[in-house]
A and B are shown apart, each in its own frame.
Chain A
Amino acid sequence: MAKQLDRRRLLGYLVAAPTLAVAVDWTAALACPQATRAAVPSLPQPEEIFDLGDMQDLAAAPTSGLITVVVNGDGTASLAVPRAEVGQGMTTAIAMMVAEELDLPLGKVTITLADARPELLMNQLTGGSNSMRSMYIPVRAAAAVARQRLVEVAAATWDTDPALLTTRHGVITAPEGQTATYGELAAPAAARTTLTVTAQLKPQSAFTILGTPQGRIDARDIVTGRKQFTMDLQVPGAKPTMVARPPTINGTVVSVNNVAAVLAMPGVTDVAALAHGVAIRAEAFGQCIDAIQVIDVTWGPGTVDGQSDDTVEAQLKAALPDLTTPLSLLAGSVDAEFFFAFASNSPLEPDCAIADVRPGSAEIWSSLKAPIVAQGAIAAALGLPVSAVTVHVTEGGGSFGRHLFHDAALEAAEASQKMGKPVKLSWSRTDNFRQGRAHPMCVSRVRASYALGNVLTYEQRHTSVQTEFGHGLGDMVTATASKLPVAGGLALSQTIFELTQSSPYNFGVTVQALNEIPLRFSTGSMRNIYSPNVACAQELIVDQLAKKMGQDPVMFRRNFLKDQRLLAVLNKAAAAGAWGKAMPPGTAQGIAVHSEYRGAIAVLVDIDCTAATVTRPISDGVAGPRVTRALVVVDAGFTINPRGLEAQMIGGVQDGIALALTSSLHISAGIPLEGSWDNYFYTREWNTPLDISVIVMPSASDSPSGAGELGVAPAFAAVACAYARATGTLPTRFPINHAALGFTPLPLEPSTPQSPTDGLGNAF
């Protein structure tokens, strides 16, 4: 796709503005499905022909043209990008694209996050590891047009041939020695009326910034504490607000029984009953927490009252379709069933938003990956036209899927409207685990059969509590469709499953299918959606097949992988990771491969499951097996920023370790028991590998693959496979420590516990 585009002159518009502004038109650049590879005997599955990112590319294509690069009078360039930055380095990569095509130093490019722009339709969704894939051409095209315009204006001024001029570091130089800075030319180059122009992208061979390792553009602000997240913004009158919540998921408010007493507490200014809790506004968040200890609310039922881990699992198993593959007397087979507990997609920054709702308008600040959907939903809830609701997208302190939804923003809007005052609303940590969205519990049943050295069939029936995709593709049209009870939500989830899942192996007749049960938990996509569970089950079965067929796991994969890029990353990992080295008892290696978002990846880990390691003393946490080393080999197509790609792989490894070994939610009587990070065991320093290395494969491709989620599934699978080999037992329930509750649950009421007072005693 990019190859064809690179050779084509791309269309752009010089937009009438005080300084040079270029918008790009990308309507001609429809996604071109990659040719399917020879796939005999397995027929290609949908993901191989047309994946989720292609669907998003197509959805984005007609409106990408509204992305505008502005050259400012101070010589900088700026772009308000219609994507969210939640830690994955999107703004840095976009700045690199602009800097490259403009020949401008990276430090002179400013990237901000665009407000919700409903006219962008489906092109304002951050998800599916799609930002680099969908933005790579349009952003570069806009910058290339801007550079060309600056050169033409300089050439006209000097009465010379534009082809003779060179650009470097924001300065245009003529052969005769004249120079002009972009800043000097920004106003003269501005269009008086909108003009259509074309420009050519730089060939990859001329890149000096793209493809080179760059640090994050916001790194200095981060390490000095200057980076502003939502709760750091100072919006006049927006006072701290928290919510007392019911003891079951999505419980409702029947009555607040002591409003006067709460209003009389220090600092408290307002109390308002919301759909699923009671908002308390005060001068300081600590006073909100104090009030939550005192408030007396009669709660109505939630949506999953009475449901617990065991009841949900029983319903999943009842809904599991029978495996349809007949067992032949002549063939051997492997059958297994894998259980995956609920997992929280909570980032470190609690869900939060600022809302200032006035009688005829509203202004919202929040980290939102689908801000158009949020804007529409908030407008509807407030009874305002969409045009009266301004939604600012703020920098997010992580997302992992959580910010596809706008729960906190909607709640803040509701609170502000009811109180008639601006609010700075934050969920508490406990809220985030207990009432926040979760990756649903699921069960994968797998059967594979083999004979005469061939795998004849592979059947995987994945059954899950339903995952909400209420954000659709980021616009109101598909978001609304996904809420339709049958044709919408379930159909979209089936679509996403089909577009993201495929077996990379030549396993004969291959079936992978999703079945969902409609329990009303609060769910949502978690980084890599279905793949971590599906791939973990698949790779464990692959190791089982290898064992039964008497082959080494790496050799077996070599024999059955369909894809040359996967084969290359597998071979590289096996060589660089010293696959097959002698290891002490209780320790082992594990390896897994994965292909998604047009990327290919192999992860090799060493795990230590010895008693000394598993039982090492850790206060208020879990020790368990330790992954002592992890190696990632990734082919992400053209790598925009190798340093950023490496960071995403490191994060993916940590997520995979957590999903395999430690992190889960325990549902009990309609709510998770977890209430803090010492309950929800995400990977901590004592769990992290001491050695994580990432090898980025050279790629012949000139288009980037998606990478933000790519590492999670193979890391999870590799850790599971290593655990199986180290312990000699096939793990079938994840995370492996889920059965033992490793903490004392915080009380359900008050919904947010009081803060400790003994912090000085822990100083070090």
Chain B
Amino acid sequence: MPTHAFILNGEQVTVEAEDNLRLLWVLRDILGVTGPKYGCALDVCKACTCHINGLAFNPCSVRVKDIKPTDEITTIEGLPATVGADLHPMQQAWLDYDVAQCGYCQPGQIMAAVAKVKRAHAEGREITDADLDELRNICRCGTYSRIRQAVKAAAQKMTSPT
């Protein structure tokens, strides 16, 4: 079986998997990293959102063979370490606003929100409601208004626009 290497939450990992196996199943079924959730495997619901080299993406729709050994994959489990803290500001904001209901979508929501804020900051601006309207992550419990409050609050604590 082919071998694939990449950096997962700061650590080099090597897995044996068929080339076309989607990365979500490599994470969940082979490596036992279950923070990214299965919601559709169609790149629609976004419950599995993780980061690749700092950008949000959905591992349900990426073959493991398309991941390079130098690619840095970050799941919700590895997010705090990216800021050297127990919790990323986005996670803390989620607690402050008591965002979660069932919680199933929330790892993906948080990962998507971090990327969205970073992108706005990289463009030298604050996050806007128009940005938040672009988030496609489903929350079937409907806690969208608290998500928006938390993202805006966390954005203030993340590195400000330069």
Contact = CB atoms under 8 A, between A and B. Distances in A.
Interface string A284-326: 1111011000000000000000000000000000000000000
B138 A677 contact: yes
B25 A286 contact: yes
Nearest to A689: B145
Given A223-B100, A289-B41, A764-B55, A348 B22 contact: no
B100 A764 contact: no
A718 B119 CA distance: 37
Interface in A552-608: none
Contacts of B146: 647, 650
Chain A: interface size category: 35 or more
Contacts of B63: 757
Contacts of B25: 240, 284-287
Contacts of A684: 136, 138
B76 interface: yes
Contact of A654 (B39, B116, B136, B142): B142
A349 B40 contact: no
Nearest to A641: B98
A666 interface: no
Contacts of A225: 34-36, 75-77, 107
A223 B94 contact: yes
Contacts of A686: 133-134
Contacts, number: 234
B30 interface: yes
A654 B140 CA distance: 9
24 contacts: A88-B101, A219-B103, A223-B107, A224-B35, A224-B87, A227-B103, A231-B28, A231-B34, A240-B25, A283-B29, A284-B29, A287-B25, A289-B41, A348-B37, A348-B105, A653-B142, A676-B44, A677-B138, A691-B145, A755-B41, A757-B22, A757-B62, A759-B61, A759-B62
A632 to B, nearest CB: 11
Contacts of A286: 20-22, 24-25, 29, 41
Given A223-B106, A348-B105, A677 B119 contact: no
Given A232-B34, A651-B142, A755-B22, A219 B133 contact: no
Query: Considering the complex of A and B, which 5 residue pairs feature the smallest CB-CB distances, nearest first?
Result: A225-B35, A87-B102, A654-B142, A397-B104, A759-B61
Contacts of B100: 216, 218-219, 222-223
Interface in A431-460: none
B52 interface: yes
B94 A86 contact: no
Interface in B110-145: 110, 115-116, 119, 129, 132-145
A224 B79 CA distance: 8
A398 B105 CA distance: 10
Contact of B62 (A677, A753, A760): A760
Nearest to B21: A286
Contacts of B29: 240, 283-286
B103 A87 contact: yes
A650 B145 contact: yes
Given A223-B106, A651-B101, A755-B22, A762 B57 contact: yes
Interface string A189-215: 000000000000000000000000001
Interface string B38-67: 111111110100001001111111110010
Interface string B7-30: 000000000011011101110111
Interface string B70-102: 000001110010000001000100110011111
Majority secondary structure, A binding face: loop
Contacts of A227: 103
B148 interface: yes
A104 B101 CA distance: 24
A276 interface: no
B120 to A, nearest CB: 11
Nearest to B130: A686
A350 to B, nearest CB: 7
Given A655-B142, A758-B61, A759-B58, A284 B133 contact: no
Contact of B18 (A266, A655, A755): A266
A89 B98 CA distance: 11
Contact of B98 (A621, A647, A655, A758): A647
B133 to A, nearest CB: 4
A677 B133 contact: no
Interface in A47-101: 86-89
A682 B28 CA distance: 27
A347 B101 CA distance: 12
A690 B60 CA distance: 30
B104 A429 contact: no
Contacts of A685: 132-137, 144, 147-148
Interface string A343-359: 00011111000000000
B77 A285 contact: no
B143 A762 contact: no
Interface in A263-286: 266-267, 283-286
Contacts of B62: 757, 759-760
B73 to A, nearest CB: 12
**Residue of B30, B52, B140 with highest tally of chain A CB at under 10 A:** B140
Given A219-B100, A223-B106, A764 B56 contact: yes
A267 B19 CA distance: 13
A688 interface: yes
A267 B102 contact: no
A349 B45 contact: no
Contacts of B115: 764
Interface in A681-710: 682-686, 688-692
B136 A759 contact: no
Given A286-B21, A286-B25, A759 B140 contact: no
A347 B140 contact: yes
Contact of B140 (A234, A240, A398): A398
Contact of A763 (B32, B57, B99): B57
Nearest to A283: B29
A136 interface: no
Contacts of B32: 234
A347 B144 contact: no
A684 B66 CA distance: 30
Contact of B104 (A216, A289, A349, A760): A349
Contact of A216 (B40, B57, B98): B98
B142 A215 contact: no
A410 B44 CA distance: 28
Interface in A613-666: 620-621, 643, 647, 650-655
B86 to A, nearest CB: 9
B104 A398 contact: yes
Contacts of B61: 755-759, 762
